Amino acid sequence: MSIKKRYDLMIPGPVSVEDEVLAEMAQPIVAHYGREWSDLFNETVEMAKQVFQTQSDLFIMVGSGHYGVEAALNSLVEPGEDVILVETGHFGHRAVELANSHLAKTHVIDVGWDDTVKPEQVAEALKAHPAAKVLAIVQNETSTGLANPIREVAQICSEHDVILMVDGVSSVGGMDLKVDEWGVDVCVTASQKCLEAPPGLVLVSVSQKAVDHMRARKTPIAGWAMNLLKWKEAADEGRFFQPYYITMAVSNVLALHKSLELILAEGLASRFARHQEVGAAFRDGVRKLGLEPYGSDEQASGIVGVFRVPEGYVDTDIVSFVKENHGIQIAGGLSRLTGKTVRVGHMGPGARMDKIVPVLDALEHWLSSEGLLRKK
Amino acid sequence: MSIKKRYDLMIPGPVSVEDEVLAEMAQPIVAHYGREWSDLFNETVEMAKQVFQTQSDLFIMVGSGHYGVEAALNSLVEPGEDVILVETGHFGHRAVELANSHLAKTHVIDVGWDDTVKPEQVAEALKAHPAAKVLAIVQNETSTGLANPIREVAQICSEHDVILMVDGVSSVGGMDLKVDEWGVDVCVTASQKCLEAPPGLVLVSVSQKAVDHMRARKTPIAGWAMNLLKWKEAADEGRFFQPYYITMAVSNVLALHKSLELILAEGLASRFARHQEVGAAFRDGVRKLGLEPYGSDEQASGIVGVFRVPEGYVDTDIVSFVKENHGIQIAGGLSRLTGKTVRVGHMGPGARMDKIVPVLDALEHWLSSEGLLRKK
């Protein structure tokens, strides 16, 4: 068996990656240790730090975004300890589940899945739960396409001396997230979204404040894989030989190395602007077709374009039509938004006008075929 | 920066993989969900089950061998519970560390790092620690190249109704391990050794007995990534759409799918025989050069050829010489065997006479250059 049909991938990750990145995946396998390899690995880490806009530690782990979020929560919050989590969608909710699975005492700022958090809600929660020393939030909620105001949240956390953990899985490399300047203590992203590489790696930055916090725990962090201090120990000790305790996914690292080169060559500022422009154009196009973009334009991340499914239809009606008739793969709603929303990833190589216009054309075709077209 | 020097990879993993497997890594990225993808993923799982010789559940996780071993221990043993672990080398020791990191009460059968366990040692330990309901053991100890007698150990565990977890990271696909017939409850392997695929995936089989054991726990399994019941839940619920809760490393799965096809086309019996023959030939060749193979021929796994470094030298003397003068990468000793042993992986594509002869030639060259040659 092999994958027979290939679609133009416009889902919110994994993204279609550039040919030169794919080519790295097919390089002959090399050892995951030794000076030459660790130099390349460390260079990959340094490039990732530039994209994270941080000079703190950054670990590249084999895994998915989930692993990174779980590792952060497992490392920062002891069983029974208080943690505040902002929930504005599926991935915010997932973080709550992950924290609960490690027996944290979770306090959820339940904003609803059609909105973003207001800074004052964060301030209130911090006052209401003074025992909480960690707050977790998603930047771009991939399930809604709406971005929480990380800069403002970070400011409030800083005032309360609370550790801030940001799930930047779908945002890092696609929208501004100044990890050091804003004061984000732990930031997580994955290889397959705005970093434009194949899935299989998760990247986690950890501030000195977060390291100190972990080291001051009363109980040791459980396990190794989800233990950021273990990753730090291995990185520090094995810097010039093997900066992790596992067999690294070397091919995926080579691909990430290449994609980070492309990202830095483009430049972060122009890259973020490109995503913003394309995101705005997509919402505009959707609106002109008579469809309703999710949330407000101010909340929109520019990375995932989300709109509501017209009454009387479900998401798969649209997703299947676009796939079958236009060869483009887009996505439906997640968990409690299943059926109700359609999501289009315009990330990395997909954040281009010539990539979203065919999607808008396909949507117009669907609307027209259903007699729903009322162009504005 | 890029990897400039390429060596013929004869380390004990990752292995050089076949071109057609590498080519799969460079296939365009596809979504990690949907019917067509899940069919391919499930077919990969089914092929892996054939190599594991099991009909039980098998989960493919993004990760390294370590993750699989940790997931097994975290899932099978509750904090404070007794577990018996057989230590015959670095990886047996690693399992002890991982179990300790999850607060298990570990009882180690400390065999020494130059031997394999005797079945009666296992029987004694089970009698001495009747509270232990789980026993963990490595099949081929990658650090020594010596294989523990899993069949006999499984028999004893079965008699005591103890769950058996086998670290088959470097053995599955290279030597016989009849998971179902012998009664191995949890078996772990990784993609990059005898499965001949790039690193990045770990495979874990779980018997119904092990599932029942996990479900009967007094405390829930901590976390998700290291929680085999969570992987089972996602596999069962998402069978025909997305049989895991993460973004799967799709490229790595495509490569593994191809490598498993190659493995099954060769046939397990002839494959195991090939590894045995090449392993024996390597030890023979080493001996003829006047070097001392590690352990006895009966204990040797046939997968990793290990010999002692001659007095007055360290492993890197040999490893560097072979690398620089012959373009072949072999490995030194691990942790407490650092300096003392040299390890040559003859796994998968490397388990061929035309791959080990150049290594033996290189070793002869080194011995000769040091005036140590005393061919037998």
β-strands B82-87, B134-138: how paired?
parallel
Q: Do A15 and B29 touch (CB under 8 A)?
A: yes
Domain boundary among B229, B264, B299: B264
At A376 the pLDDT is: 61
| Residues A25 and A86 occupy one common structural domain | yes
- Mean pLDDT, to the nearest integer, of A187-200? 98
From the list B101, B190, B247, the residue facing A192 with the nearest CB is B247
How much is the ipTM here? 0.98
At A58 the pLDDT is: 98
Query: Considering Cα of B167, then B169, then B173, then B174, what sign does the dihedral take?
Result: negative
For residue B161, being part of any structural domain is answered with yes
At B6 the pLDDT is: 85
What are the pLDDT digits (tens) for A255-268? Answer: 999 999 999 999 99
Q: Do B29 and A40 touch (CB under 8 A)?
A: no
Q: pLDDT exceeding 70 applies to what percent of chain A? A: 99
Contact of A73 with chain B, judged by CB distance below 8 Å, is answered with no
At B375 the pLDDT is: 65
For residue B148, being part of any structural domain is answered with yes
Smallest CA–CA distance, residue A180 to chain B, in Å, is 26
- Mean pLDDT, to the nearest integer, of A47-61? 98
For residue A280, being part of any structural domain is answered with yes
For residue B375, being part of any structural domain is answered with no
Which of B7, B192, B247 best probes binding to A when mutated, by most A CB atoms within 10 angstroms? B247
At B204 the pLDDT is: 99
For residue B78, being part of any structural domain is answered with yes
CA atoms within 13 A on the CB side of B351: 29
| Residues B237 and B272 occupy one common structural domain | no
| Residues B246 and B337 occupy one common structural domain | no
Does residue A95 carry a pLDDT above 80?
A: yes
- Mean pLDDT, to the nearest integer, of A96-118? 98
Domain boundary among B209, B231, B264: B264
| Residues A158 and A214 occupy one common structural domain | yes
Q: Which residue type does B170 have?
A: S
For residue A1, being part of any structural domain is answered with no
Residue B125 is part of which domain span? 19-264
| Residues B153 and B289 occupy one common structural domain | no
- Mean pLDDT, to the nearest integer, of A86-110? 98
| Residues B179 and B284 occupy one common structural domain | no
- Mean pLDDT, to the nearest integer, of A179-183? 98
Instruction: Give the CATH number for residue A84.
Output: 3.40.640.10
Domain boundary among B224, B249, B264: B264
Backbone angles phi, psi at A23, to 5 degrees: -60, -35
Nearest to A232 by CA among A216, A214, A217, A218: A214
Residue of A nearest to B345 (CA): A31
Say if residues B195 and B171 touch (Cβ distance below 8 Å): no
| Residues B139 and B102 occupy one common structural domain | yes
For residue A97, being part of any structural domain is answered with yes
At B271 the pLDDT is: 98
Instruction: Give the CATH number for residue A315.
Output: 3.90.1150.10
Residue of A nearest to B39 (CA): A1
Burial class (CB in 10 A: 0-12, 13-18, 19+), A58: buried
| Residues B185 and B334 occupy one common structural domain | no
Query: pLDDT category, A375, cuts 50, 70, 90?
Result: low
Quote the number of domains for chain B: 2
From the list B26, B74, B220, the residue facing A26 with the nearest CB is B26
| Residues B257 and B332 occupy one common structural domain | no
| Residues A291 and A322 occupy one common structural domain | yes
Measured CA distances, B234 to A59, A292, B190 (Å):
27, 33, 20
| Residues A158 and A234 occupy one common structural domain | yes
- Mean pLDDT, to the nearest integer, of A208-215? 98
> What's the token pair of residue A205?
């930055």
pLDDT along chain B (376 residues), means of 10: 86 96 97 96 98 98 98 98 98 98 98 97 98 98 97 98 98 98 98 98 98 98 98 97 98 98 98 98 97 97 98 98 97 96 97 97 98 80
> What's the token pair of residue B272?
């195991």
From the list A32, A62, A222, the residue facing B14 with the nearest CB is A32
For residue A374, being part of any structural domain is answered with no
At A2 the pLDDT is: 82
| Residues B317 and B343 occupy one common structural domain | yes
Backbone angles phi, psi at A199, to 5 degrees: -70, 155
